[in-house]
Amino acid sequence: MPGDGGGGGRGESGEAALLNLRGLQEPDLLAALAVTDARNAQRIARELSALWDRSGSPAMDLLLRRGRDALERGEADVALEHLTALTDHAPGFARGWSERARVFAATGRFGPAAADLERALALNPQDYDAIFALGQMWEFFENPEKAHAAYGRAKAIHPHHEEVTKALDRLSDAVLGEPL
């Protein structure tokens, strides 16, 4: 497995060994995420998130941080200003679009949220959190089939994503029918 450093087996306690993630690039992290255990999946997800949070520009990274901070303080308009500046100045930065979608969704503006998620996923189709957010929107609009499909796509990338697993469990009977 990528990054296992030869020690990808199980330890004496039966727990999976921690993967060596040092120096792994996005394709290797994604490949490892798809096949690893839950503990390593959390670590890999953090690495991917940190990677996807870097725009390549300190100024753009600052706009991302300020937008997130404003949203956490409940200042959606301020968050939207920062994130719109980010998407204007760094239109190729997927995380800017997905974060702005989050603000739009939080304020009930689902049309712009969907458009921003579409843009984010065009730039980074492996962003399981953006795919999950798309599933949440489909679920909100009472389209369980499309929501389930989005959640399934996110789970294929990140099999240990707890919220995705809960969403799939919640929708399975409605979409797949009740088990006999």
How do residues 136-175 score in pLDDT, each as one tens digit?
A: 999 999 999 999 999 999 999 999 999 999 999 999 888 8
Give every CB contact of residue 19 below 8 A, 6+ residues apart in sequence: 1, 3, 4, 5, 8, 32, 36, 40, 43, 44
What's the mean pLDDT when you consider all of the chain? 90
pLDDT at 176: 80
pLDDT at 177: 76
pLDDT at 23: 79
Q: The whole model's pTM is what?
A: 0.85
pLDDT at 180: 54
Q: Which CATH superfamily is domain 54-115 in?
A: Tetratricopeptide repeat domain (1.25.40.10)
What is the separation of C-alpha 104 from the centre of its chain, rounded to a whole number of angstroms? 17
> Quick one: pLDDT band at residue 12, thresholds 50, 70, 90?
very low
| Per-residue pLDDT tens digits for 19-66 | 777 778 999 999 999 999 999 999 999 999 999 999 999 999 999 999
pLDDT at 8: 43
Per-state percent for the chain, helix, strand, coil, to nearest 5:
70, 0, 30
pLDDT at 19: 73
pLDDT at 179: 62
| Per-residue pLDDT tens digits for 119-131 | 999 999 999 999 9
Domain ranges within the chain, ordered by starting residue: 54-115
pLDDT for residue 9 is more than 70: no
